[in-house]
Amino acid sequence: MASSFNFVIGSAKFIFAPIERCLNCKRNFDENMKVLQKLLKELNTVKEVIELRLSAEIHGGTMQTEEVKNWLDDVQRIKTEIEIIERKAKEKKFLSRVFLGKMVEEKVVELKAFLRKGKAFLGMVKSFKYIIVGGGVAAGYAAREFDRQGLKPGQLAIISKEAVAPYERPTLSKGYLNPNPKAAARLPEFHVCVGSGGDRLLPDWYKEKGIQLILGTEIVKVNLALKTLVEGADAKNMFYLRELEDADKLVESIKMKKYGKAVIIGGGYIGLEVAAAMSINDFDVTMVYPDPWCMPRLFTPTMAAFYESYYENKGIKIIKGTVSVGFNANANGEVKGVKLKDGRVLEADIVVVGVGARPLTALFKGQLEEDKGGIKTDGFFKTSMPGVYAVGDVATFPIKLYNEMRRVEHVDHARKSAKHAVKAIKANETETTIHYHRSQNLGLTGSKMERLLELSLKVGHLKKTRLLQKFQDSILHLRT
């Protein structure tokens, strides 16, 4: 009897031993999977940072690009392998955890090795204390203010889609289109900061100050939490005028289409200035805009009537209250006509679209608070995320005069908001205060032009004010 009992017990041990091993394997598998997921999450973060910085080329040549790319490929491979393990574990449930346990242990070891290598790459990547995204007017003025505030070499980088250092953008629709080659404005003549009477900041200036210009680099993705950036990699004779490259293309087209017909879409600053420039270049010019008068956000009907009359007297035709809805093109893809909503078709050899631009806020969606189409800031241009500031056209900020939030599209605002923000940044670092309050001393209350125009309206001397004369001189150099 005893012998039989011992046999039963022995058989039980024989049965339970594999089950116990299976249970242990299951526990080990679950624990290792948790470790694996944790390591994978950390690896993904390192991978993202390396990809972003590598793409933005924010490195000093010390990173071995090919080696990093191989590492990124290996990371993608191991991620795929882990996904397969997880899928198999779900399909076979209990037993799969036993058979896949060894593979999971191997992947844990492999992930740890990848992490060590990735962190080593990060150590070779150069980073900056301050990064300015965009190389417009505000970027140049901010760089000058950073220098005045004691910037150290290697602390600041400016990333710009354009291939040139920051310049005074209003020149593109003015002197740059001058038909006289000797009188036409060309770089380096109008690099910032000549717009405010300062010295020109040529590319060598940035180099001397230790400021890195990362040019020809378009940022298409931003991760503010990781403080990383990513770069991105129509019809002929249709132009926008936002960058130097646009102006160069327009100048070439003006030479090729001499004495042709130009249609200007838009009645704002760009529309008025380009219309004048095209007339000077001997084009038959027509302006089209949907508003009842030009520059409706700035001009009163009476003021607008003055300018519209002046333009028409110079031979520029104006069509108001309608918009373009399409274009006719020839076999070569060149625009030959502009279709209007009211049914008319305007002949065109050159079309310039000057309808303004939306602030580039898509990069920061879900990361920064927005208001009225721009990035919401306080009176010091701080955004909703610490350490991130917005200046120039993209910033919506409080204007005390009107007791509301506004966005100002004006070069003077770009210059002064950049200076103001840099002072705020440096003051915050040294725990001191800025000795002026918000934007009331910035000249940003709807821009100086708006305030003076309002004043001129009140005194009733519209045509005789110095401001109108100054504005007229700046954009209406039309032949008599």
Where residue 379 sits, what CATH number does that domain have?
3.50.50.60
Residue 4 belongs to a domain: no
CA 24 from centre of chain: 54
* pLDDT number for residue 225: 66
Calpha distance 117→123 (Å, rounded):
10
- 248 and 328 share a domain? yes
Q: Please give the pLDDT value at position 149.
A: 94
- Cα separation, 223 vs 153, in Å, equals 25
Q: Is there a domain that residue 52 lies in?
A: yes
Q: Is the pLDDT of residue 275 over 50?
A: yes
Query: pLDDT tier at 25 (50, 70, 90 boundaries)?
Result: low
Lowest-confidence region among 48-62, 155-169, 280-294, 310-324: 48-62
Residues 6+ apart with CB under 8 A from 307: 272, 294, 295, 299, 476
More confident of the two residues 461 and 399: 399
Confidence of residue 422 (pLDDT cuts 50, 70, 90): very high
Average pLDDT, the chain: 78
pLDDT surpassing 60 at residue 7 = no
Q: Is 189 in the same domain as 255? A: no
Domain count, the chain: 5
Q: Among residues of the chain, what percentage have pLDDT more than 90?
A: 34
Over range 139-157, report the average pLDDT: 93
Residue 282 pLDDT grade (very low, low, confident, very high; cuts 50, 70, 90)? very high
Give percent above pLDDT 70 in the chain.
Answer: 74
Q: What is the pLDDT of residue 124?
A: 60
Query: 309-328, pLDDT tens digit by residue?
Result: 999 999 999 999 998 877 88
CA angle 373, 374, 376 (to 5 degrees): 125
Look at residue 141 and tell me if it is in a domain: yes
Could you tell me if 154 and 180 are in contact, meaning their C-beta atoms sit under 8 angstroms apart? no
Q: Which of 74, 90, 122 is the last residue of a domain?
A: 122
Confidence of residue 143 (pLDDT cuts 50, 70, 90): very high
pLDDT of residue 234: 57
- Domain edge (last residue) among 312, 327, 353: 353
pLDDT at residue 12 is higher than 50: no
255 lies in the same domain as 336: yes
Which of 20-29, 112-121, 341-350, 351-360 has the lowest average pLDDT?
A: 20-29
Same domain, 51 and 92: yes
pLDDT in the model for residue 376: 96
**Sign (positive/negative) of CA torsion 74, 76, 80, 82?**
positive
H helix intervals, 133-233? 137-148, 203-208
Instruction: Answer yes or no: is 268 within a domain.
Output: yes
C-alpha 15/C-alpha 208 separation (Å) is: 79
Asked if the model's pLDDT at residue 287 lies above 60, the reply is yes
Question: What's residue 76's pLDDT?
Answer: 87
For residue 342, what are the domain limits? 244-353
Q: Which of 89, 122, 155 is the last residue of a domain?
A: 122
Q: With a cut of 90, say whether residue 129 has pLDDT above it.
A: no
pTM: 0.58
